[in-house]
Amino acid sequence: MKLAIQCLGVEQPLTCHFTLLLPGLVQLDKYFAAASDGVKAWEMLKEKSYSIDLVLTEVDLPLMSGFGLLSMIREYETCKNIPVIMMSSHDSVSMVFKCMLKGASDFLVKPIRKNELRNLW
């Protein structure tokens, strides 16, 4: 029996990238919840931190940036050990470095391919 991984994806616009990748995640027996901004993602995490195994978030988000979300996750006791993978279409060294210094587990450059997601697990 395969264990399912609960992934929270945070990206704007919501219908863009994750919708294209979702079929690949389902085929890999992964479970996926989505939020379109950092505030919604944070609310979901506070309510369901026990069931989220991975956060995949865009750096540039409305209402609360991916950096802000990452900082809150790392400071909140029940969420601080959840791996957070940041993603952006900008791959500057300074952005990647900032994400890693704030506690990101990894950084992916968009567009993300399905085989990159398979390698996360």
Domain limits, the chain = 5-120
pLDDT in tens, 36-80: 899 999 999 988 877 888 999 999 998 999 999 999 999 999 999
Q: For residue 83, what are the contacts with CB-CB under 8 A and spacing of at least 6?
A: 53, 54, 55, 105, 106
Give the pLDDT band (50/70/90) at residue 26.
low
pLDDT at 76: 93
The residues, any chain, with a CB within 8 Å of residue 106's CB and separated by 6 or more, are 83, 85, 86, 120
Q: pLDDT tens for residues 79-94? A: 999 999 999 988 899 9
pTM (2 decimals)? 0.84
CATH number 3.40.50.2300 given to 5-120: yes
